[in-house]
Structure 1
């Protein structure tokens, strides 16, 4: 693999724009573990090895168990995620693959059982943020260790 470019050096404004999304996320009340679960699931779907590597490590540093980190891709088939986490992961999948079916009302209603309107929008912004990072990393051919 070869890194196409170091986007943060080629156009620092691009990187700073994405950092503003991260700064916004710090102002939300979204649980840090839940935010990392969202990042991991979207990165799995998008095939972003750089982000997947980064966020699985970050999640472990926050104290998450190996078992849960390893099973995020099959969260529906395990008892290790709360109903709230499952709702966020389901929304993550739907938004990441939004062109396939949008966000049906029944899915919105299901998510709203666990999240207030403000929290719902925080999860939406979390998904938007990681999808942006994934696309930037994939477009520049980033991979684990490429910036070391």
Structure 2
């Protein structure tokens, strides 16, 4: 595998825009562990090996268990996630696959039972940000480092 080009060197402004999104999320009050679950689940759906490698490591650093990381792609059948995490993961899937059915009102209502409007926006921004990172990594040919 070979990286097509280094997008950070080619377009520092684009990188700065992405880092501003990350900065917003970090100051939004969104739980860091929940953000890592969002990043991992979106990256699983999008097939972004680079991002999966980075964010599973980051989740471990935050104290996330191996079991919860390994079972994230089967979260519906695994009893290790809170009700809030479950609706956020479902929302993550819906937004990542937005062209399939949008975000149904019923899902929105279930998410809002756990979060206010401000946190809802932070979650949506988190989902959109990791989807953008996935698309950048995949389209520029990024792959996990051997470490």
Structure-to-structure mapping, 1:20-31, within 5 angstroms: 20-31=20-31
Cα deviations by residue, 1:30-70 (Å, 9 ceiling, x for unpaired): 10000000000000000000000000000000001100011
Structure 1: 4+ residue segments shifted above 4 A: none
Structure 2 length normalisation: TM-score?
0.98
Q: What per-residue deviation string (whole Å, max 9, x for no partner) do you get for residues 4-28 of structure 1?
A: 0010011111111111100111111
User: How far off is 1:29 after superposition?
Assistant: 1.1
Equivalent runs, 1:51-90 vs 2, <5 Å: 51-90=51-90
> What is the match of residue 49 of structure 1?
49
Q: Report the Cα distance in structure 2 between the residues aligned to 1:139 and 1:20, rounded to whole angstroms.
A: 21
Secondary structure at 2:88's aligned position in 1?
Answer: helix
Mark the runs of 5 or more structure 2 residues left unpaired by the alignment. Answer: none
Tell me what 2:94 maps to: 94
| Number of aligned residues | 147
Q: Residue 126 of structure 1 corresponds to which residue in structure 2?
A: 126
Structure 1: which 5+ runs fail to align?
Answer: none
Q: What's the Cα RMSD here?
A: 1.1
Q: For 2:38 and 2:54, how far apart are their aligned partners in 1? A: 13
Q: Alpha-carbon deviation of 1:138?
A: 0.5
Instruction: State the alpha-carbon separation in 2 of the partners of residues 63 and 27 from structure 1.
Output: 20
Per the alignment, residue 13 of structure 1 pairs with 13
Determine the C-alpha separation between the residues in 2 that align with 1:134 and 1:12.
18
Per the normalisation by structure 1, the TM-score is: 0.97
Cα distance between partner residues in 2 of 1:24 and 1:120: 14
